[in-house]
Structure 1
Amino acid sequence: MAADALTDYVSEEYLLEFEKNYNEEKANGGKVSDDTTFQYAWCLVRSRLNTDVRRGIGLLQGLLAASEKNRDTSSPRDYLYYLAVAHARLKDYEPALKSIRTLLRQEPGNRQAQELEKIIEKNRGSDAVKGAAIAGAGILVAGGLVGLGMALLKK
């Protein structure tokens, strides 16, 4: 279930529908309801475009800040979960872990959050290994070029 959140994408039509709802509410009174904002943010987080995901993060952070200010204890669960999903999609693992661990401190038995934390940890480890392999290959290539250059200079 948590793995699906990281790999499932929203359709363009669905995203446009929620964007339209969000913009209509904004145009009609300036204040968009938390529900409409969350639905739009949820769609943005599930977009294929990183710019959309980042916009979703901004909306979710705004909702989270407002819920903390109003001492709302029910909504932050969803905001924190989807913040973690959004950051993980962008491979920003530290903020993803911070969000999911904040949720787990509030709800230690939340299995979906526990599963997402494990997936984020696993992905962070795999990406670190890939990064090290790429860096190592770059160093080997650079070393080989330096060696080749030195050999050519000796001739």
Structure 2
Amino acid sequence: MGGGGSGSGQEHLPVVDLDLVEHAESEYRAIFQTGSAEEVEAARFRLIWALVHSAQHRHQARGQELCRTALAALKPPGDREYRYLAAVAAYKMGHYIEARRELAKLLQEQPGFRQAEFLRGLTEDAIVREGLLGVGVVGLGAAVAGVALALLLGGGGRK
């Protein structure tokens, strides 16, 4: 069944501010020193979530790297959320093809994962938008070249 017809709510992913990222970072550092493995894992997940949802590219890249590190230690289906967050980071950094590839694999293994379905829609829209932008730039260049060629060949139409 899918979620998301018109008016289905959110059109964009959440964006967190620097304070939330810093809070998640300090929480992770504190728990890493004294917490159980489960507490450390939960704090690491919250940190990654905050990083990939930050507006800053450096945070997104760091979050994606932490996802990859976490994924190296996890096995399906426990890796579902980290794979989703890695796709969020790829999307937010403008790596739409990478995000689409990860989401396609994830949804094949986890059909009905609504957040991933939503992100796949955003990713497909971004790919189309980027493609149309590229076609528009090429078309504009061809039009300018055509006008210039007409002026050169036609001599401007004056006698």
Instruction: Give the Cα–Cα distance (whole angstroms) in 2 for the partners of residues 59 and 138 of structure 1.
Output: 42
> Which residue number corresponds to residue 77 of structure 2?
73
Indicate yes or no: 2:28 matched with 1:22. Answer: yes
Indicate yes or no: 2:124 matched with 1:117. Answer: no
Indicate yes or no: 2:62 matched with 1:55. Answer: yes
Aligned AA (2:88): V
Q: Structure 1 or 2: larger helix share?
A: 1
Residue 34 (structure 1) shift: 2.2
Taking a change above 3 Å as real, the CA distance of residues 96 and 12 of structure 1, as seen in their structure-2 partners, is same
> Which residue number corresponds to residue 88 of structure 2?
85
1:80–1:102 CA contact under 8 A, matched in 2: no
> Which residue number corresponds to residue 16 of structure 2?
10
Gaps of 5+ in 2: none
Q: Which of the pair has more CA radius of gyration?
A: 2
> Which residue number corresponds to residue 104 of structure 2?
101
Instruction: Give the Cα–Cα distance (whole angstroms) in 2 for the partners of residues 63 and 7 of structure 1.
Output: 22
Taking a change above 3 Å as real, the CA distance of residues 73 and 139 of structure 1, as seen in their structure-2 partners, is same
Aligned AA (1:20): S
Moved more, 56-65 or 110-119: 110-119
Aligned AA (1:83): A
Gaps of 5+ in 1: none
- TM-score, normalization by structure 1: 0.75
Aligned-residue Cα RMSD (Å) equals 3.1
2:17–2:55 CA contact under 8 A, matched in 1: no
- TM-score, normalization by structure 2: 0.74
Identical pairs, percent: 26
Residue 143 (structure 1) shift: 6.5
Residue 96 (structure 1) shift: 0.4
Matched residue count: 146
